């Protein structure tokens, strides 16, 4: 139907490029929102337009799903190393896989990746424009848009580019970090809490597991960001909007940017297998092809750690390096300045102006590590 749609331009019949709307909600949820007076498109009002629903569920479902996952992953109290341990104890809970399925967590990750791949393919192979939205535009929309860009553009698969896409699609577009993470909120039943950003990091982690050579960074950077989403050691993830951070909380003056640390210690996060792959990535997104992010969920369970013969070691970086106070040296400042694009650049980090880099890099020592 899209290919047959034509419009008249200067007395000529022109076939426009297709325009797709990716509604991250399910059809039922969108209909319910519409009955409440909220927005939903009527594609008959537009030319060469198709509307698709991505069936990604809301923040409340994600919170409940992760809570069920965390409860399921608690260490088995019946399993202990002792002489009286029966021979079947090490086999664990026989219902583990069915319990994992009941949480729905990998299904949710699969749907985010599926929607992202769909958007990327429409833009890559059809040259189409894709409008992405959900109920509000700062949760599921951020997940899908950020992932789609990483699939299409190799720049966003570099350490610098990854910082840019987070600043652009998550921070600048208004993901409500303060409410979703609930910094300083004693109400653990707050219904605005939801692990949306952690879920997206897990989506990216699955991409790096499937296509490791395509990413300049590895799991260590994802773990670092997951930890400092909650630590408040850096100011990037405090507040709900840029206005909150820059005007009210003044994180530029009071905290250090997480990217200052990441770029200074970039060798800690660099993937030794990295290759510059200029073409788009098309990962698998079926549940059978996805993995649970064990490094994140199971690191506090000693029994879950990899064997010393596996070649893997789980070491946490909490941003408290013994040389943390020295990342205002000349070499670091030069690198920091080089990655900050000029004002107005669509790929600029947008975290700090170039002339402010020195102040930010010394903020941890001069002003404290964060709020």
Catalytic: 285?
Answer: no
CB 151 within 8 A of CB 123: no
Residue 44 burial (CB count, 10 A): 6
Strands 7-9 and 12-14: antiparallel
Q: Which of 54, 119, 134, 285 is catalytic?
A: 134
- Phi, psi (deg, nearest 5) at residue 49: -125, 140
Residue 33 burial (CB count, 10 A): 16
Residues labelled as active-site residues:
134
């Amino acid at each position: 139907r899209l290919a047959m749609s034509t419009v008249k331009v200067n007395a000529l019949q022109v076939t426009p490029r297709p325009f797709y709307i990716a509604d991250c909600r399910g059809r039922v949820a969108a209909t319910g929102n519409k009955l409440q007076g909220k927005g939903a498109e009527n594609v008959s009002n537009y030319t060469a337009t198709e509307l698709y629903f991505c069936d990604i569920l809301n923040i409340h479902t994600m919170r409940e799903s992760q809570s069920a996952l965390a409860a399921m992953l608690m260490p088995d109290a019946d399993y202990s190393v002792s002489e009286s341990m029966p021979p079947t104890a090490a086999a664990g809970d026989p219902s583990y896989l069915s319990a994992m399925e009941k949480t729905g967590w990998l299904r949710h990750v699969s749907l985010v990746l599926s929607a992202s791949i769909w958007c990327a393919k429409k833009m890559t192979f059809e040259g189409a424009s894709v409008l992405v939205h959900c109920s509000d535009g700062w949760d599921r929309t951020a997940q899908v848009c950020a992932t789609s860009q990483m699939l299409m553009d190799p720049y966003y698969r570099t350490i610098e580019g990854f910082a840019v896409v987070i600043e652009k699609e998550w921070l600048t577009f208004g993901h409500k970090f303060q409410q979703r993470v609930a910094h300083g909120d004693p109400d653990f039943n707050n219904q605005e809490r939801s692990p949306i950003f952690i879920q997206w990091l897990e989506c990216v982690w699955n991409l790096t597991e499937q296509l490791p050579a395509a990413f300049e960074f590895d799991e260590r950077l994802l773990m670092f960001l997951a930890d400092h989403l909650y630590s408040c050691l850096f100011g990037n993830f405090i507040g709900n909007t840029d206005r909150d951070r820059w005007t009210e909380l003044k994180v530029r003056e009071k905290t250090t940017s997480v990217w200052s640390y990441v770029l200074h210690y970039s060798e800690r996060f660099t993937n030794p297998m990295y290759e510059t792959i200029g073409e788009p990535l098309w990962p698998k997104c079926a549940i059978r092809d996805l993995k649970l992010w064990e490094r994140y969920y199971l690191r506090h369970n000693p029994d879950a750690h990899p064997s010393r013969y596996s070649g893997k070691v789980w070491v946490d970086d909490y941003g408290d390096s013994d040389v943390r106070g020295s990342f205002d040296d000349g070499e670091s400042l030069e690198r920091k300045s080089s990655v900050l694009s000029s004002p107005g650049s669509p790929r600029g980090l947008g975290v700090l102006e170039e002339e402010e880099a020195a102040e930010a890099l010394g903020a941890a020592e001069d002003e404290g590590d964060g709020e």
